[in-house]
Amino acid sequence: MMRQRNRSSDRKNPRKQSKVNDKGLYARAVKDAFVKLNPKVAIRNPVMFLVWIGTLITLAVTIDPNLFGPVTGKNVELFNGLVTVILFLTVLFANFAEAFAEGRGKAQASALRSTKSETIAKQLAPDGSITEVSSTTLKRGDTVYVTAGDIIPADGEVTMGVASVDESAITGESAPVLKESGSDIASSVTGGTRIISDELIIRITAEPGKGFIDRMIALVEGAERSKTPNEIALTVLLAVLTLVFLFVIVTLPALAYYVNSPVSVPVLIALLVALIPTTIGGLLSAIGIAGMDRVAQFNVIATSGRAVEACGDVNTLVLDKTGTITLGNRLAEEFIPINNHTIQEIAQVALWASIFDDTPEGKSIVRLAERLGAIIDFDSSYSQGVEFSAKTRMSGTNLPDGSQIRKGAVGAIKGFVRSRGGYDSPELDTAYTRVSSQGGTPLAVAVDGEIYGVIYLKDIVKPGIRERFEQLRRMGVRTVMLTGDNRITASVIAREAGVDDFIAEATPEDKIEVIQQEQAQGKLVAMTGDGTNDAPALAQANVGVAMNTGTQAAKEAANMVDLDSDPTKLIDIVGIGKQLLITRGALTTFSIANDIAKYFAIIPVLFASTNLQSLNIMRLSSTNSAVLSALIYNALIIPALIPLALKGVKFQPLIANQLLQQNILIYGLGGVIAPFIVIKFLDVIITIIGLA
């Protein structure tokens, strides 16, 4: 039988990104860009909706130049037509940006949908008889039987059996995963995965159409996407700015008439479009969708854009030590005998205490004891296993002769021994301190009222984790390590890993308490979890990342699910969230800075007769040329920035003030300079070819 593997440590590249099939993506995006011209869809973006209305008005004026009164000038129809075409392309480019970002999610959804198909399920009746039914008819609470080669028909929990399951259709990871009953972590199975050995009996936990893959399809396809609070706030701000400029433009004809510089309706519309923040207005949705897509490329499914955005504002990371900060499975390194016992005696007792312990730690104790010659000289079928619990903090075996053998936390074993008339010795404290000071986990072993010694479980801090925590610290993110280890061991691991704080001998209740304490101080908290006992804390955290190998309760409580079940991904997700906020801020700064240059391009030549020509620092040749140059730049900058909106601004672990200064320098100054250069170049080209 295969041994369950630690997914996060087996992969050579645990942060590999899933590939999305881009075939046909551009064609679909172009098609969807036209579909989004529907006013019911367009009105969701107030800025671009106003541009779309302006396009229709200039189209009408192109057909009838005298629609709003008699006009003078040469090539009026040509100028109006060019303005109409440029405005239409501006709207189309903005729609294309959003459609392309959505298209990547739809491509991933198609890949997921290909794994979901109707299958024949073997439904078990209460009397044990088997009936073949369609998987779509299975309801929550039904029981099914699956054997090697079968597709698991729906999400469920293993109630009997042990088998290897291929989850590559969901995770992309080829290594099979062991599933068995009675395990808080390994009993959860997902519909659409394939059993490749042995057999299982599964209790269905999801109603038809509401399974894990169904939810993933809906999420990555964007069907349930709603704007995040920050996105809504920015949309409102852009709408207010647009309204302000609209009022300015409405009052401009009276001013122009007064100074004897009449302005035509197409020029007024062009001026409005040039001044409102169309660049960020056209890219805002694409930035948010791309943020969720970047998370999905890390094989993490986010339930909403709000969850991804919250990652960018996270102040505190609550991390379990095992599997996140350390490599995961602690291994028995050494037996330390005390109270005049020999190493063979403690090996023998440790073996007996671990025969019912199926955890990696328990199996490593058995292997070490057997290497030292320990044997089982009693009938284990008449013995009783005692499972570990967070409350007792120990496990063991009750032998047929009535002896009670226990192994566990030193404090718990001391209490166990005293309750049976025994006592502890200074030797125990010495061994405890020795193991703890090396960053190991000491487990005491006792038979009834006598302690035989200490098991040294070795824990290894993951390479490079200290540097990653240092990056988080530079971003202002505080890290808190939770561990069931004693305080000495926890302090050694915490110091070696470089976390800011730690809580030793932590219980599930401690996780919720830590999160609530941080939130009470106005902080946003992120954490990972996989067990049912983690579900309340995952629900309490602002960002909860559940492991795909975790229980159904944990996955439902979290707002993200990591398909690779790699707890360290939380650190990457925080980086993606911050990159999303940085990208949105950078492009907003660039867009508003653009407006300054476009203002200096149009206003001075528009009112040249009022001695504003001195402000025409670009020396543009005419009003029509200035308007067309500014509009062309305004349209072309949107597709030019689509790659940056989708990929995101390069993330650097800096605090907020440093990032703000950097954005103002690069995107603020760049947003002012770039339009001056491009608009002047376009003006020269337009003048040469005689379009204005």
Task: Write out the catalytic residue numbers.
Answer: 320
Does the annotation flag 357 for ligand binding?
yes
Does the annotation flag 155 for ligand binding?
no
Planar angle of CA 496, 498, 503, nearest 5 degrees: 90
Does the annotation flag 32 for ligand binding?
no
Specify the residue for token string 């519909």: 191
Does the annotation flag 198 for ligand binding?
no
Specify the residue for token string 């969901």: 170
Does the annotation flag 614 for ligand binding?
no
Specify the residue for token string 């404090």: 411
Planar angle of CA 320, 324, 326, nearest 5 degrees: 100
> How buried is residue 274: exposed, middle or buried, by Cβ count under 10 Å (0-12/13-18/19+)?
buried
Does the annotation flag 64 for ligand binding?
no
Paired sense of beta strands 331-337 and 543-547, if any: unpaired
Q: Which residues contact 411 (CB under 8 A, 6 or more apart)?
A: 393, 486, 505
Distance from the Cα of residue 139 to its chain's centroid: 30
Does the annotation flag 293 for ligand binding?
no
Q: Are 502 and 494 in contact (CB under 8 A)?
A: yes
Does the annotation flag 353 for ligand binding?
no
Other CB atoms within 10 Å distance of the CB of residue 588: 23
Q: Which residues contact 75 (CB under 8 A, 6 or more apart)?
A: none
The secondary element (H helix, E strand) that includes residue 672 is helix 669-689
Does the annotation flag 392 for ligand binding?
yes
Q: Are 51 and 328 in contact (CB under 8 A)?
A: no
How many Cα atoms within 13 Å fall on the side-chain side of residue 130? 9
Please give the biggest Cα pair distance in the chain.
Answer: 111
Q: Which of 587, 577, 591, 589 is nearest to 651 (CA)?
A: 577
Q: Are 139 and 324 in contact (CB under 8 A)?
A: no
Does the annotation flag 134 for ligand binding?
no
Q: Are 62 and 55 in contact (CB under 8 A)?
A: no
Task: Classify 573 as helix, strand or coil.
Answer: helix
- What is the 8-class DSSP label of residue 612? T
As a whole number of angstroms, the distance between CA 472 and CA 474 comes to 5
Does the annotation flag 395 for ligand binding?
yes
Specify the residue for token string 């990159």: 579
Q: Are 188 and 177 in contact (CB under 8 A)?
A: no
Does the annotation flag 215 for ligand binding?
no
As a whole number of angstroms, the distance between CA 650 and CA 634 comes to 24
Q: Are 284 and 48 in contact (CB under 8 A)?
A: no
- What is the 8-class DSSP label of residue 550? S
Q: Which of 532, 433, 423, 523 is nearest to 486 (CA)?
A: 433
Token code pair at residue 202:
């599964």
Does the annotation flag 676 for ligand binding?
no
Q: Which residues are annotated as a binding site for ATP?
A: 357, 361, 388-395, 407
Q: Which residues are annotated as a binding site for Mg(2+)?
A: 530, 534
Q: Which residues are annotated as a binding site?
A: 357, 361, 388-395, 407, 530, 534
